[in-house]
Each structure stands twice: as C-alpha cells, then as structure tokens.
Structure 1
C-alpha cells in the first residue's frame, strides 16, 4: 500500500462513528481483537467504544505520520469473510464508510479492497438544504449541538441523518453528565428514572407538578431516542424520507431537550 496522507480529526471521528455505532457497529470485543490484530495500542479499553477507537487510531496515526494503519484497520473491519451470514450489515457499513472516505478520494470495493477515486463533493442540493436548515434553526436560536448536525454530508438524500446525529448527541450529553456507560433507552431509564431517584433531575422534585414535569421531559427524551436510536433505525430511515419541515420541528425539539439536560442537576455520583 502506498503511503496515505493522515486523516483529519473530523474524518477520523466520522469513521469511528460508523465502525463503533452503538446500534450496528463493532462490539467492544471486536474492536479490541481488531486493534490487537493490526498491532495498534488500545490506550483506553474501558471508555465508550467510539471514544476508545478514536483515541487508539488517532494515537497510531500520530505515531506513523500517515493514514496507512487507519486504512488497514478499516479494511480488516470490512473484510467480506467476516460477513458471510451478515450481508445487510456489510452493505450498511460499506455504504456509510464510503460516504466518509469518498471525501478524501477513497472507496472500499465490495470485495474489501481500498481504491483511489476522485474526491467526492457534496451536491449543491445538499449544500442548499443544509443552508436552509441552518438559517431557520439559527433564527429559532437552537442549541449549538443541534446546529452542528446541519452538514451537507449528512443531508445528501434526506434530513433523517441530521436528526439522528442530534439525537445521538443528546444521548452522549447524558452519558457525559452522569458517567453512565450505557446506550439508548437503558441509559435514559438509569439516568432519569424516578424508581430509585434520578441521577439527573430537571427540577427540585419537591412537588407533584415538578414530578410531572420531570417525567414529561424524560418521556420526550426516551421516545426520541427510541425512534432514532432503535435497532431498526436503518429500516426506519429507508421508509421515512424525512422532509425539511419535519426535520426542523424535530431538531427544535432536540434543541429544547439538549438545553434541559444542560441545566439538569446531578443528584449523586455513579
């Protein structure tokens, strides 16, 4: 393999978001095995798998001064032989990774080989869609974490990926505030549930009205994550061509929930 330029931090993060996706990415055990296979140091094996993989690949790339070991890891993760009975999973990962790698002028072929191609540029349509979304969301004063999701590379076909990323960011925000190493609905229930007292509280919980408010916000978060972070999210995406008006409403909702989590109080340490 010729010497490949280093991947940017943003590209590396996008690669790790695909390979370590909490719904259909590599498991923690698979990440550990692949890092060992490619002789890449695993500096933080106990952290969330996206962060774990990012730090491992970032440190290796800094040591190498090139992107070759990153490419080797990706190719190992996408070896067709690993997917003999998981064809749909292979197609999903391949499609998502190629969308990221195409920006740097690479593609992985269906037979698991890295090819150099002309760098892809996001369509004018996607750029225009991102501009319209950002303009309206800025006007509404949405949370910065939501604005970051309005990128042309996420909006090539529909607005679904932008809402997905905003929802993923909400989940990440809860993890960072609580220290819980959980995903999806389980994370929400452990962080916000009232059964044994919430780790994060949206108010003082001193009255029936405050209990009702806390439960209502928790239900909104749980339902949003249930839809956009469910194991059937890929099927939902294919069936739900989310338009701009719906996306703006959902992103505005996600913004409100981001702000409520920002101001939520940690009641105890995990």
Structure 2
C-alpha cells in the first residue's frame, strides 16, 4: 500500500501533469482511472489536484494517485523517447522525496528518499543525457545506476564490467571470472568445441570472428576492470568521458552475447 501523498507533492505532481495534458485529456484520463473530478478548480492544475486529493481521502492511501501517474507514464503513450524521458524526469524529481521512482518501463520502484533539492535533481537526471544519447544495453544499467547518479564514475566502471562477467556466467553456468571465464566460455580447444558460440564455426572466417570476440572480451576486462580493481581511487581522475567509453564497449559485448548460444559440447 502506498502511503498518502501530502498536499505539496499532490500539487507538484498536478502542476507537472497539467503541462502534459489538455483539459479534454485530463477528463479522459481521470475517468479511465476511475477518479471522479471534484467541484473545485477551473485551471488544469487545480482540476487534477482536487480530483487526486478527493480520491486519496476516500482511499486513505496513495494507491490510486500513483496508479494515475503510472497510467500517464506508460511508454505506449509516447511516440518519442525524448518526450517520455522529459516527463519521467519531471515526475521523478517530485516522487523521489517520497522514496518512489518511475523506471524506464514506466513502473514504480522503491528507492531511498531524497532530502535536498540538489539531491533530487541529480538523482532524477536522465541517464541517457549523461552519455550524450548513447543507447546503453538494458542489462548494464542495474549494475551501475546507483554509482552513476552519484557521479562515482570510478566504481561505476567496475560495476559495468561486472555486468558482462555475470552475463557470461548466466549463459555458461561457469563460476570463473575475467579472462579465465572468457576462455571457459569461448575457448575452442583442439577439438574446436567451445561452450558458447554465435556462429556455426564452419569457415575460417567464422572461426576467426569467434576468436576475435573472445580476445575482445579479454581486452575489455584487462583494460577496464583490472586497473579499477587494483588502482586506488584517490590516484585516478576517472571522468564521465571514460565511463562513456566503457559503456560503449560493454554495450557492444552485451549485444553480441544476446545472440550467443550454448553449443551443447560441454
């Protein structure tokens, strides 16, 4: 059960939503959410505020208020990702004080409450804005989002590399790590029967591609994980541009792993 939102939060949310909807759309969305409009309010913000406030008083909780917000932030309503992210960011800047955040799929999740304006703004920043619009693979973000939003890029890079290692373990069921894990997964051996593959290995070209990807993964761990694991943070000026580089490489690897399969040889 979601606890009731105070008037400040309701007013803030109503103000944001009023910029998202026309008067007609407000009526449509309130009705579809089962929320009856109150008699007060002529402008858009007041119409939304008093309707949500009345429903919350009836429910004695904020469940239907949050459900209304989730309905509006349904990705299906948007034609452009940028519009969705703009609305999501604005809503999250207010919900974050309540310990709630709407994720990229439009669903709520519990988080630590923000206590200051600067904290709320920094934690609600769109991740894709921080990396100049790069399409980061979906399996990377859960590992590094907390460090990323705190601008702790040093540890974010380490967490990004963990996302690749964990993907390899999931695909192969091996428990090794780093370069050893890559060899376990993609090593051809004398019989040329690896645990994982993404092509048929029937030609020299395919075999070369297979070996190249394995070496690429090893280079990824050697370049980005090992130095971060062994170098003290105080001696390294890890910048956002460096983290962006790691995100690009990790995304390339993750995309390839999405098309990788177990061969059945091991």
Q: Give the TM-score normalised by structure 1.
A: 0.48
Q: Which structure: larger Rg?
A: 2
Bigger relative contact order (CA 8 A; separation at least 6) = 1
Q: Give the TM-score normalised by structure 2.
A: 0.48
